[in-house]
Amino acid sequence: MFIEVMGGALALVVGVYLWFQWRMRYWADRGVPYASDVTFPVGNDFVAHKKVLLRQTNVAYVVQEQYDRFKTQPFYGAFGPFGSPSIVIIDPTLIRGILAKDFDHFVDRFGDLNPFTNNNAETFTDSIWQKQLLFLKGELWKDVRSTFSPIFTSGKMKLMMHFMKAISLKLTNEMGKSAQGKVPIDLKAIFGKFSMDTIATCAYGVDSGSFLAKDESEFVRNAKSVFTRTAKDQLKLFCSLIPGLNFICKTMKVSFFKPDEAMFFYGAISATIKHRMETQTRKNDLIDLMIDAIHANNKPVEDELKPEDSNQYDQDSRLNHKVKTGAIDELMVVATALIILVAGYDTTAMTMTYCAYQLAMNPEVQDELLAEIDEAMNNLEHGQDFPDYSTIMGMPYLDAVLQETLRIHTPIPILRRVCTKEYKIPGHNVVIPKGSNVTIPVHAIHYDDRYYSNPKEFNPKNFDVNVARQRPPYTFLSFGQGPRNCIGMRFAMLEAKVGLIAVLSRYRFQTCAQTPKDIWRASNTFLGNPNQTLWVQMEAR
């Protein structure tokens, strides 16, 4: 019996291997150049690449290595797990087609890597995660995106200013302790507190207590736990991505993602919503704006941006969609608040961390930024103690410094889309079949010397309006592009700008003995976290 079982298993493995090898002919048969460094059974797709799975390197560097081999091509082929064909788009014009112009062919973000294959979840806590914009697909995604997008327009972001300003005072006080005691600071730790407090206040209506000197609050503990992956979490995630195991887990009502933490945040947001409904109180924070959106009888809210005033990024992000009545409920508010935490906490803290590090390492850039901040502070009107929204949006060098930070240290190294309708690549006799993964190599595009001279150097002049105008569109992609871009882009940029203005109006970043000279992306994370702690010294101005 044992011999028969082993023989059957061996035959199955051999059969799968031979089928895998047959699949390797897919791109060659279609005359498409392709990456041939394939490992059975994971392929060589960025996310499932052997070096990434074994944590030998960060996914961004795998992206870069493949891109450098094919950068003269408009696109090239690759292979996902078990030989599934995927395609990597390099040409910016074709990228615009994927992300915006022909968006109806690429509505979904995840295909075989989406554990909720049919917008379904078997447990209540997983249903919270599943309703996030990150995982939603098709018409339901369009309903949620159309409902909540107007919350993040420029006009609504002005309402967030006083929350961010109040939290920036805590940040500045913390920086002051470093300056007075001449004690180096861990940039990620302190900007993590600022990001956590900002999101907790604006999206949850609570004070997370991040800057408290004593024990962490329950909010902070649960938030940090969301970003911690245990061996059990990794196993459940793996099971969620394998069709057979996924079915078994759902049948057994196994929660794939952080059930305790999801229930905590569900309770926190539900309590806030209930309190405000019962007391008729308003703070004009994100929770109030989201409640307004779902109580507007699910009618689309008019976009504040006028076509003649909006730029290419705004124009391409428009989604003309009529929301179905009853499509949006309170659980969508919880899920959206949770994705603001998941997508906004680490990425914004990381961006501010890298920005401060680059300013310390490039004092001439910091001097120019300080001059712009000083000018804004010196031109405050009577009764003002901080630049208003319009002034902050009119600070081009601050914007350039942050964009250059995001170019070099982009948090998300790739963009992923799924072909939802068969698509013929314009100008080429190549068809992307329905269900195929399409990848945009963001990190590598940001380091392409055809678009950025000396791309490894930190140079905010890359985003001077006259310089940027010379580049093709879709060569800066840190927030994505098109209707499925980052919904919280304005919130994140405003948060970073307010925090940096508050700090740099009183202090400057200086290198110290502990400041690392060479840094790279850590191999144990998909994001762009540094491989070591970034220490700097604060100096009073």
Binding site, annotated residues for heme: 486
Supply the DSSP symbol for 324: P
From residue 184, alpha-carbon distances to 39, 174, 189, 192 in Å are 45, 12, 12, 16
Q: Do 134 and 114 meet the contact criterion of CB atoms below 8 Å apart? A: no
Q: Which helix (H) or strand (E) holds 196?
A: helix 187-199
> What six digits make up the tokens of 334?
């919880």
Q: Which helix (H) or strand (E) holds 162?
A: helix 161-181
Distance, CA of 11 to CA of 185 (rounded, Å): 59
| Distance in angstroms (rounded) separating the CA atoms of residues 172 and 164 | 12
Known binding residues are 486
Using CA atoms, how far residue 236 sits from 121, 137, 225, 240, in Å, is 14, 22, 16, 6
CA-closest candidate to residue 440, choices 17, 63, 15 = 63
Q: Residue 401, Cα to own-chain centre: how many angstroms?
A: 19
CA–CA gap between residue 322 and residue 140 (Å, rounded): 11
Within a 10 A sphere around the Cβ of 391, how many other Cβ atoms? 17
**Which residues, other chains included, contact 256 with Cβ-Cβ below 8 Å and sequence gap of 6+?**
115, 126, 129, 236, 237, 239, 240, 249
- Take residue 486 and report the two structure tokens written for it: 């980052």
Give the DSSP H/E element, type plus range, for residue 440.
strand 437-440
| Overall residue count recorded for the chain in this entry | 541
DSSP 58: -
Q: For residue 153, which amino acid is it? A: T
Count of beta carbons in the 10 Å neighbourhood of residue 179: 18
Q: Compute, in degrees rounded to 10, the torsion defined by CA atoms 314, 318, 323, 329.
A: -30
Element (H, E) at 393: helix 389-393
Q: Are 337 and 221 in contact (CB under 8 A)?
A: no
Q: How far is CA 301 from CA 143, 296, 441, in A?
A: 12, 8, 33
Q: Report DSSP letters for 5-18, one per residue.
A: HHHHHHHHHHHHHH
Distance, in Å, from the CA atom of 502 to the CA atom of 93, rounded to the nearest integer, reads 39
Distance, in Å, from the CA atom of 208 to the CA atom of 48, rounded to the nearest integer, reads 36
| Whole-number Å distance between alpha carbons of 499 and 241 | 39
